[in-house]
Amino acid sequence: MSDATQHTYATAAWRYWNNGSTNLVEFVIGYQEDLTIGMLNGHMVSGVGAGRLGIGLDTTASGLYYSMVIDDTNTMGAAIVKTGLLLGYHYMAVIQYVDANTTTYYSYVIEVAIRG
């Protein structure tokens, strides 16, 4: 899944990418596997202060796995989540946060693989 919708964000609160609740990968674990892997790549530019882009595992309230934290630079980064999950519904959301000022977000690609 990917999105290349350029947008800015300037609030110190976690939210879905571009405030869109469809920016996530949903899946159901019906058989206990060894590992669930989430990979996120993203591109953003921050003004003074730091912007964050990350993966929220079953949450959008905090960045459990950051792909990057930037300060006054043009940054591309990646995050990898490797975890065993219980049976049932799960999701990995693309989430963003800004410490101060405004960050411009350009694109992301997220992939989830379930390994047995």
pLDDT of residue 9: 92
Question: Confidence class of residue 20 from pLDDT cuts 50, 70 and 90?
Answer: very high
Distance, CA of 43 to CA of 53 (rounded, Å): 9
Between 89 and 40, the more confident residue is: 89
* Three-state DSSP state, 85: coil
pLDDT tens per residue, range 88-111? 999 999 998 888 778 888 889 988
Name the residue ranges covered by the structural domains of the chain: 2-115
Distance, CA of 54 to CA of 63 (rounded, Å): 5
Is residue 65 a contact partner of residue 79, using CB atoms and an 8 Å limit? yes
pLDDT tens per residue, range 105-116? 888 998 888 875
Mean pLDDT of the chain: 84
Residue found under tokens 């350009």:
106
Q: What is the fold of 2-115?
A: Jelly Rolls (2.60.120)
